[in-house]
Amino acid sequence: MSWWGRARWTCLAWVVAGCLGAGCAPLGLVDAARGAGGPRTLAVELLALDLSTCGRCTGTERQVKGAIRRLRPVFARAGVELRYHGTLVRTAEQATALRLRTSPTLRVNGRDVPVELRESPCSDCTALGCAGASAVDCRVWVWRGREYVEAPEGLILDALLRSYAGAFDGPPESAERFELPENLRKFFASRPPAARQATRPCCAPRP
The strand pairing partners of 88, in sequence order, are 48
From its phi and psi, is residue 23 left (phi > 0), alpha (psi between -120 and 50) or beta? left
Q: How far apart are CA 62 and CA 67, in angstroms?
A: 9
CA atoms within 13 A on the CB side of 22: 7
| 3-class secondary-structure state, position 190 | coil
Q: What is the largest CA-CA distance in the chain?
A: 60
Q: What is the pLDDT of residue 202?
A: 37
Q: What is the pLDDT of residue 36?
A: 46
pLDDT tens track, the chain, 207 positions = 554 455 444 545 544 544 444 433 333 334 444 444 567 889 999 999 999 989 999 999 999 999 999 999 999 998 899 999 999 999 999 999 999 999 999 999 888 998 899 999 998 888 887 655 678 899 999 999 999 999 999 999 998 988 877 767 766 666 678 999 999 999 998 876 655 554 443 333 333
Q: What is the pLDDT of residue 181?
A: 95
Beta-strand pair 80-88/137-143 = unpaired
- Model confidence, pTM: 0.75
Q: What is the pLDDT of residue 5?
A: 52
Q: What is the pLDDT of residue 129?
A: 73
> Which sign does the torsion angle of CA 58, 162, 146, 107 carry?
positive
Identify the structural domains of the chain with CATH numbers, from first to last.
Answer: 3-115+150-169 (3.40.30)
